[in-house]
Structure formats: structure tokens, C-alpha cells
Structure 1
Amino acid sequence: MTAFRCFLTAGLSALLALPAAAGAGPGHPSATTATVRKHLVYFKDKAGTPFSVAQPDAFLSGRALQRRQRQQIAVLPRDLPVSPAYVQQVKAVAGVQYWYSSRWFNAAIVACDSATLLKVQALPFVRSAQTLNRAQLGTATQPKTELPAAADQVAGTRSQYGKAYAQAQQVGAVQMHDAGFRGEGMQIAVFDAGFPGVNTASVFASLRQDGRLLNTFNVVEKSTDVFQRDSHGTNCLGIIGGDEPDRYQGTAPKAAFRLFITEDQPSEHPVEEANWLVAAEYADSAGVDIISSSLGYNTFDAPSASYSYADMNGRTAISTRAATVAARVGMVVVNSAGNEGNSNWRYIVAPADADSIMTVGAADSLAFVAGFSSRGPTADGRLKPNVSAMGVATAIVTAGGAITRGNGTSYSCPVVAGLVAGFWQANPRLTAQQVISLLERSGSLSTNPNNDLGYGIPNFARAYNLANPGAPLATRAPLSRPDFFVYPNPIQGADNLYLQLDAGFRAAPLEVRMFNARGALVAQQRIAATAAGTVRLDAADLRPGVFTCLVSNGREQRLVRFVKL
């Protein structure tokens, strides 16, 4: 797995539909395998494109556009797909295997030999090309050495969380869940090396049964098969989305997920950064809210050129540049800092150096920095990491469904990604950058941040109170109350659905948002202020399923759930 292997211890349809050159498809190299390598080919412009920023629904989903609109982020020429005419001309070059295009970089990822690459570079609209893997396709290097496993420990004091209690409690996720925020309505993309067992393990049963596993995409093989390869992705996904009460609970157990394999684990080349870019653009187009990436890049297999610390300046590495754009389009990018703290490198690795993302370091259960956790600052002097969380003896889920423990910023990253999901769910009007800022301000070192732990350990309650000074969490009524509920529950067919209001939600205009089990906003209505104790909700057009209903009076929120048969 790229770089972070040593961290271990234990337009959507168009993207998938792009064909390779005849007879030379991905995974089936031609007779010139020995010389075929992947390259990132940059175009000079997007001339002749049929796409327009005035009609973004041609290449961005409705959810992606809603995310931008909420944050007042304009659709820019950067977001336009590459020119189809350029794509066709590149594909027409004999010997080219066409893999992907990149909107943000205005580029294409192709595989070909060096002679064919010269022909591609001679095309009048091609600006430059960058080789992404120097080893022959299909060759493999040995995986990097893993850190020694941490000793197993006694389960947490809250039986509901099992061994995951300490990591959830440390960042306030237990209080977040008690308040009713478990990631409902939020979409998280996880980039990693593989997810074996996610399709079978009991910890992920509700994720599968609720329909919250929205899609899978193996960027390495250009397929939808992700339940294979390295189990690092399974470990990280469980920390966020694991949901088996009285055994294991993640930090956002009711979020919806999109899973991506971007890592070709046996080797170490910049092509994996290009895969990260492809996944990030896919996530953007799908309307993802949060990217959780426990990945990093600094040293590559020879003869690919490795990065230097000077390159960790926020503008050099492919993955860093991709993460920066992902942040610019309104996603919260959460990325591991790296495990180089005890090595000669010592510092963060790409894309942890990116501007405007949340880089996560590792601490132990007492909030002391882990020796292996990569340190800041960036090469251009910016504070990193942004925050830290439990990355020592973190409870993780194995591919076989067992619960064990491991060390690494790979594991502190998803702890924080789940925290981001619940906090943003609780404060849906915030922008991505406001979410990051408030969580930083909630940190244990917020008044004196450093380049070991950043702003320290973030905390849901502190961040919530900063975002809601007029109704702090400590003094407000519980989000779910016995005198605030919907009925009948479940409802059937065209039955009327009613909302019983407590005293605090009467005589105030209400905003009601309904989310399905996949996290999509499926209904929204405004209710005029009334002194009545009961109001009618419009659920007639909803399909059968499980729904989360978030009700706001402008000062605070209530959460109720119901089932439609």
C-alpha cells in the first residue's frame, strides 16, 4: 500500500464507461507489456467542449450542486469535463490504453510505451506529460514493514461501543451520539487499498441492509469489485461506520458510504496519487460531503523520483493538488498526517500538506502525541497536523469481522472523519471550512497549537457550543425527547403522518428535512408558527423505507425517525 502500508498494525457514468483502446484494455496489457507505463497527459485547454458552467447538471449530480449552493461555491471552468474531441484523438493513437480523464487537472491518464507517448505529446492540444509508474506493469515490490501490533486491552466502559469506546469518548462522539447525531444524511468517501469482509462481516450488516453502501469503485482495476486486496480499508471503514451494538460502534455509524480502491498495494509509484485524483473527482460528482483518506506519499519505488520535504509545500504533489481542489469544491477532506515521526523524514507526507484540509495526527488515550506520528510544519511554514485523535491501540475491525487493536495515523483519521460527519449533520448550514475551523477551535490545544498535535484533540460538545452560542449543548434539552415524536410509526401507504411538538417548538416557524437511509435529502417542508401541539408532515410521496426527520426552529433542532411500509 502506498506510503501508509507502514501505518498498519493488525460525470459518474462517463467515468466508468470510458473504453480502453481495442485489444489493450486495463488489466490486459498488450505484447509490449515490458515498456508500457502509465502517464498523466495534460491538455492545453478545454476548447470545443459541449459542456458549460451554466448547465452543470450535465456533469454534476444534484447532490453535488446542492453542496456547492449551500456554501455559495460557484461552478468554474475547472469543473468542466475535458474536451471529448481531445479524448477521441488521444484514443485514436495506436497503442494507447485510455484509462481516465481529469476535469480538475484537464488531463488524461493513459498507458503506452515511450514511442507511443511521443506521438501523444505531438498532438497540438497536448501541453505536457508526466510518467506515473516506472516499473513494468504487473511487477510487484515487497510491501513495507508493518508496525508491531499493540497489546489487546479490556473493552470500554460503555458496552454499546465495546473496545471502540475510548476513541469515541475522547473526541466527544459518545455525547454526539447521545444527542442524536450519528451521521444520518451524510455521505463519506473512503479511499484505501481494499475492503475485504465489508460484504460479509456482522459489524457492517446494518450498512448493507439499510442501503447505505452507495457504491464501490476499484480505480486500480477499473471495476466495482472492492471486497478484495488489502484489509486496511476495512480497518478504517469500521472506525467510522462499524455498527454492532454491544460489540463495536464507529464514530458515524449511520452515515452513508462510497468505497474506492486507489492503492495498488504491492508497488509504490505516483500512479496511486493519480488514482486518488480520479476518486476525488468521482466523489465530488456524486455529492460526497467528506473524504476519509488514510493514505500518504513521499517515497516511491525506483526509478520513480521520490518527493523531498521541500515538496511538502501544498502545491507540488499530485495528491496534494487534488486534495486542495476537493476542499475548494466544498468537501471536508480528512487525511492522515503520516507515520514518519520516528524516521529520518519525520514530517507530514502528501496530501497531508494540502491547504484547507483536515490533517490528523495520532495521540494515545491520554492525548499524548504518538512517537510515530508525522510532525509539521509544511515546507512553507503552515501548521500541521490540524488536529489529532486516538491512533495508539485504536480498536479496529478485521476482514474476518474480529475486533482487534492497531497503531497509526491511518486510524486516528477515520475517528475524526466520523466526528466531522456528526458535527456537520448537527450544523448543516456551516461551510466545509467553517466545520474545520470550529473543530480546530474545539481542540484541547486551541489556545496554543503546535506541530506535534496541531490544535489538539477536537471535541463535539465544545465545537457545537462554539457554533451555537445561544443554545449550548450542555444546557439544551436532549435532541430526542419523549414528548417530541411522530405518529403513527410506522406509517403505511398514504396514511397521514403527524409530529407531536414539545413546548419549545410551538409558536415558532419550523423547517423539516427528511433523509432516507442512504443519506439523501428526500423531502423538505416549512411549517408556519402555530400554538397547536401537533402538526401534519407531508410523507405521501415517500417510498417505503426508514427515514430520519430533522426539525429546526431556528435556534435548536430535534431528531425523530420513522418507518414507512
Structure 2
Amino acid sequence: MTRNFLTGLLLLALGVAAVPAAAQGTVRRHLVYFRDKAGTPFSVAQPQAFLSARAIARRTRQRIAVLPRDLPVNPAYVAQIRAVAGRPQVLYTSRWFNAALVSCDSVTLARIAALPNVRSASTLNRSARPAQPDAPTQGAGVPAARTLAGRAFYGSAYAQNNQIGVPGMHDAGYRGEGMQIAVFDAGFPGVNNISPLQPLFQEQRLASTRNFVDGGTNVYQRSNHGTNCLSTMAANAPGYYVGSAPKATYHLCITEDDYSEHPVEEANWLAAAEYADSTGVDIISSSLGYTDFDAPSPSYSYSDMNGRTAISSRAATIAARVGMLVVNAAGNEGGRPWHYISAPADADSIISVGAVDSLGNHAPFSSYGPTADGRIKPTLSAMGQATSVLNSSGVAYRGNGTSFACPVLAGMAAAFWQANPTLTAQEVIAALRNTASQGTAPDNALGYGLPNFGRAYNSLHPNNPLASNQPTAEVALALYPNPRGAGAVMLVLPPSLYGVPLTVRVLDARGAVVARQQLPATNAAEVALKLGVLAKGQYLCEVSTGTVRQTVRFQQQ
């Protein structure tokens, strides 16, 4: 089934029930559950053997004990599987589920299931997948419209940030410094190349990369969706695009194979969550969801959306129990027959994110609650309709989906936690929820509504509140993209240039006029320029009304 991630999250097909074994020789991936952890060499008294110092510190701050659930699987049990005839491959193990993900054929699986320490096994995918080409890079789509030049610091990301109080948060000095965010998605092409994300590398804030689909650490491939989502938090190109947590540290994890729809992707989510836990991650941002998937794997029903059935939901719940803040997209089924949230958005103790437009209205596609057992969902909402994101070429455009609302909110939550470091993850959720726009009257469309950094912060600091934001002074006109490539250029007009004819001149470094254009009077916030072919170098764009003249510099690549 083809996915179109550029319009947001398409709910991915996954489940948990066992699938009948295929004919001998067909290699599949299976989740093999062990009976116990008896005889394990690991101990809850020595967590440093399997958890990083940062992971232990996160638990200690939140008064969370290390439990037998956290112990790695018994290495002897894993060795027994590897010794079975048929050359089974153990891809990774799960501490929380006391299980191993094993790749083998059905005959080998039967031998594994007969081992005395194996409790059961569940087949997670149809067959081993051949090597796949990278997901095609999506086109730029509709360029993201700019806001007024007075908001030009954030570029096209201003509206989604402003809606939840991010500018005031940044003004107060909270941009995610010291916080670690793991992003689970289907690929991150271009992240290592595009300019707005280079500060991650220059400032050594890309802590790790893991590919749970193909193995290894190469994540700069496959679907553009992860790049879109990451940009809403991590991008830091003032005047062009600034995300909600531009100074946080990130871990990038590919968990989703967008060429197929099977339960193995939920097992990948589980493995990534355990990895995030062990490295000391604070926040998981996951723009993924699971409802139905390819035959012969059985699909979920709405009754399964109870937080206790789906692999990913169970994993998300445990991730919350060990002190991580899990933020997950609610899903895009609001206008479809499914209608409801997907897994793991049904998990309790996490933030499930619905989508709104720039005015705070429920986006028609955003999935509704409640969970099957009657809990309010989504938890909170953020801008997911016409959200500005960056593609793998660094071009900003607008897309729809709870996929994009999720990381916008996750970045704000990270900086809010930075501002209130003594809170537990659950106290962070409570503070954001209780002060959100529907904090006293939640519903199953927006949940508790739109959170706001300023309101939440001030509720915790009534004797030292943040100063009210003052109206932003108008800034000179802006131009994007800057640097300019071969495409169109958009000119962002301040209100002082509205309603009058404009003369545009482009001057090169020597002061020679190389392009000229007359613009009719308009009240639009931005207009397109026709500059033609320009040689590489620095240019000055001059816009005048006859009595008012403003300029902006740009670079031609």
C-alpha cells in the first residue's frame, strides 16, 4: 500500500497476534518470548551494566526504581536460540517484553519454540524483505507562506510556534538546551546536508543514529517524513526557519518500513524505545501509528485501542513508566471510517497529539478519541494543518497531519521541561494539560486543547511569572529562500509597503542593476519575484514606493 507521508501520518498496519507459519524456507521475523529471567547475570542493584549514567539519573530524579522488567534477557537463552539448527539470526532483544526478535524460517522457528526456556512466538512480517531503493524524494509542494516581516526570525514556522507560546519561551532563554529527544520515523534523508539542520552537527547535538529496519546506523535514507518532522523541532536558521527546540540534542531512529505494513514495525518501535531509555533520552517524538496492515497479518479493531493490546502501545506505556515523556501523533483518521486514534496514541501516561489549523480549529483529518476503554484522547493539540516543514533539500512547504503537530509540541515540551527540571515526566504532562485551552473542559476532538508555554510556566511560578510578550516591532522586508537556488523567490512585505505600487531593483556587488520589476499595489503578506538567471554571489534587493525604500541582502548559489 502506497503511503503519502507529505500529507501527514498515514496510519501504519501492524498487530500482535500470531500468524500461521509459512512453508519451510520462507524467512520471516518473529518475536520469541522467554519464560523468565532466571539465572540472569544482571541485577537491579547494578543498573550501570545495562543503563547509561544519564538513564539512571533520569530515574533517580523522578524516584523511579530499576525493576526486574528492566533487566536484559538472559544471554544463555539467546545463545540457545543461536545454537538451533537452521542458522536463526537474533536481530535484537527486548528487556521489557523478555523477548528476542528472530529472523528464520518456519522449521527453524518450530525448533526454537520447543526450547524449554521459550514461552511463545509471534510472527511479525510476511517475509524477509529484499533490499529496497530509497524512498523517492517528494517534491517541494506549495512553498510555505511567510508571516509578516516582524515575525521573520521564525520564517514560515512562526504560526505553529506562536500558537503554543514558543517565541516567549525562547525569549526567556529556553530552547531545549541539555534535553535529549529521540525521533522515531521512516527515514531522515538530507538531514546531514541541509543548512537549517547543520547546527546539529556543528554543535555536536546529534547524539546517535540507529536504523532498526535495515540494521546499522545509516538513517539518511528512505522516507522524507522523518526529515519533515525533525525540522519542526531542530531547524535553526534565523530569518528562514526556526523550530520549537533548536538547541536540544537528538537521537534519530528509523523504526518504520514504509514499503510494507506488518507488526514488525511495532517491534522496531519497542526496540527503539528501549534503546532511547538505555541512552538516557528524555523525550520520544513519534509520528507513527498502527491500525491495519497487510494480509495475512490480522489488523486491529477499535476495541484493541485500549492501551494494553498493541505492541507499540504497551511499549509506550513502559517508556512512560521509566520516566521518558512520550509524545505521539494521534492519527489522521478523523474523516475516514476508522475515525479514532491509532496505537500507540491509545497508551496511557503519554501525550497523544491532535491537529488544529492556524486558528485553533480541529483539523478535519485529525483522529478522535476516546480510547476503547473510555479515556480522553487526544491529550493535547497543536498546529497540524498547513504546518511548515522542511524537505530533504531544505525547502520549506506546508503539509497536513498530526505527524507534524506532534514534533512541534514535543519541542515545546522539551524546553518546558528544561525550564522546570525538577518535574517528573508525568508532572510535565499535567502542567501542560491543566493550563491548555480546554484544560477544564476536555473533549475527544482536541483533548485538553492547545498548550501554552507561558501559561504553564506561570502556573508553576506565580511569584515570578514571565513578562507578557510585547508586540514585535516591524522588521524590514524579508526574502526567501536565502540563499537562493534556481527556483522562485518570495518577497515578504511589512505592512508599511501594503496598498501601494512597488518598484523592485536587484543590484549586484558592484551596485549595477541586474533585475527590475514593477509590483502592483497589494495587501498580500508576500509576493513572488521574477529575477531570472543570476550569477553566483551577493545581491541587494531594493523595494521602494517613491517615498519609502527598504532593502534586503541575499545570496545566489
Match of 2:351 among 358, 361, 366: 358
Q: Secondary structure at the match of 1:35?
A: coil
* Other-structure match for 2:543: none
Q: Secondary structure at the match of 1:335?
A: strand
Match of 1:36 among 27, 30, 51: 27
Distance 1:110 1:187 in 2: 30
* Other-structure match for 1:191: 184
Q: Deviations over 1:482-534 (max 9, x none)?
A: xxxxxxxxxxxxxxxxxxxxxxxxxxxxxxxxxxxxxxxxxxxxxxxxxxxxx
Distance 2:180 2:419 in 1: 14
Match of 2:55 among 54, 64, 79: 64
Structure 1 range deviating more: 216-225 or 154-163:
154-163
* Other-structure match for 2:104: 112
- Say whether 1:93 aligns with 2:98: no
Contact 1:9 1:405 in 2 (8 A): no
1:8 Cα deviation (Å)?
A: 3.0
1:347–1:355 distance in 2 versus 1, CA, 3 Å: same
Q: Deviations over 1:371-406 (max 9, x none)?
A: 000000000000000000000110101001111110
Query: Could you state the TM-score of these two structures normalised by the residue count of structure 2?
Result: 0.78
Amino acid at match of 2:109: L
* Other-structure match for 2:198: 205
Q: Secondary structure at the match of 2:215?
A: coil
Contact 2:8 2:402 in 1 (8 A): no
* Other-structure match for 1:535: none
- Say whether 1:339 aligns with 2:332: yes
1:241–1:6 distance in 2 versus 1, CA, 3 Å: closer
1:33 Cα deviation (Å)?
A: 9.5
* Other-structure match for 2:168: 175
Contact 1:2 1:272 in 2 (8 A): no
Amino acid at match of 1:110: V
Distance 1:305 1:207 in 2: 40
* Other-structure match for 1:103: 95
Structure 1 range deviating more: 467-476 or 303-312:
467-476
* Other-structure match for 2:555: none
Q: Deviations over 1:61-109 (max 9, x none)?
A: 0000000000000000000000000010011112211100000000000
Q: Secondary structure at the match of 1:415?
A: helix
Count how many residue pairs are aligned between Structure 1 and Structure 2: 454
Amino acid at match of 1:106: N
1:220–1:9 distance in 2 versus 1, CA, 3 Å: closer
Match of 1:129 among 114, 121, 132: 121
* Other-structure match for 1:54: 45
Distance 1:185 1:80 in 2: 27
Contact 2:9 2:288 in 1 (8 A): no
Distance 1:175 1:392 in 2: 22
Match of 2:392 among 396, 399, 409: 399
1:277–1:457 distance in 2 versus 1, CA, 3 Å: same
Map 1:532-547 to 2 at 5 A: none
* Other-structure match for 2:210: 217
1:113 Cα deviation (Å)?
A: 1.0
Distance 1:403 1:101 in 2: 39
Q: Deviations over 1:343-364 (max 9, x none)?
A: 0000000000001000000000
1:469 Cα deviation (Å)?
A: 2.2
Amino acid at match of 1:372: F
Contact 1:4 1:295 in 2 (8 A): no
1:143–1:259 distance in 2 versus 1, CA, 3 Å: closer
1:221 Cα deviation (Å)?
A: 1.2
1:140 Cα deviation (Å)?
A: 8.0
Gap regions ≥5 residues in structure 2: 11-22, 470-557
Contact 1:336 1:361 in 2 (8 A): yes
Gap regions ≥5 residues in structure 1: 11-31, 477-565
Q: Secondary structure at the match of 2:151?
A: coil
* Other-structure match for 2:8: 8
Match of 1:79 among 42, 47, 70: 70
Distance 2:147 2:82 in 1: 56
Contact 2:135 2:221 in 1 (8 A): no
* Other-structure match for 1:265: 258
1:2–1:413 distance in 2 versus 1, CA, 3 Å: farther
1:9 Cα deviation (Å)?
A: 8.9
Map 1:444-459 to 2 at 5 A: 444-459=437-452
Query: Could you state the TM-score of these two structures normalised by the residue count of structure 1?
Result: 0.77
Distance 2:135 2:291 in 1: 15
Distance 1:249 1:269 in 2: 35
Q: Secondary structure at the match of 1:49?
A: coil
1:9–1:52 distance in 2 versus 1, CA, 3 Å: closer
1:424–1:315 distance in 2 versus 1, CA, 3 Å: same
Could you list the structure 1 runs, at least 4 aligned residues long, displaced by more than 6 angstroms after superposition.
1-4, 139-144, 146-151
Q: Secondary structure at the match of 1:204?
A: helix
Q: Secondary structure at the match of 1:195?
A: coil
Structure 1 range deviating more: 113-122 or 74-83:
113-122
1:100–1:228 distance in 2 versus 1, CA, 3 Å: same
Q: Secondary structure at the match of 1:60?
A: coil
1:349–1:2 distance in 2 versus 1, CA, 3 Å: farther
Q: Secondary structure at the match of 1:413?
A: helix
Contact 2:369 2:444 in 1 (8 A): yes
* Other-structure match for 1:17: none
* Other-structure match for 2:290: 297
Contact 1:2 1:264 in 2 (8 A): no
Q: Secondary structure at the match of 2:69?
A: helix
Amino acid at match of 2:404: Y
1:5 Cα deviation (Å)?
A: 3.9
Distance 2:45 2:181 in 1: 28
Distance 1:142 1:239 in 2: 23
1:150–1:302 distance in 2 versus 1, CA, 3 Å: farther
Identity %: 63
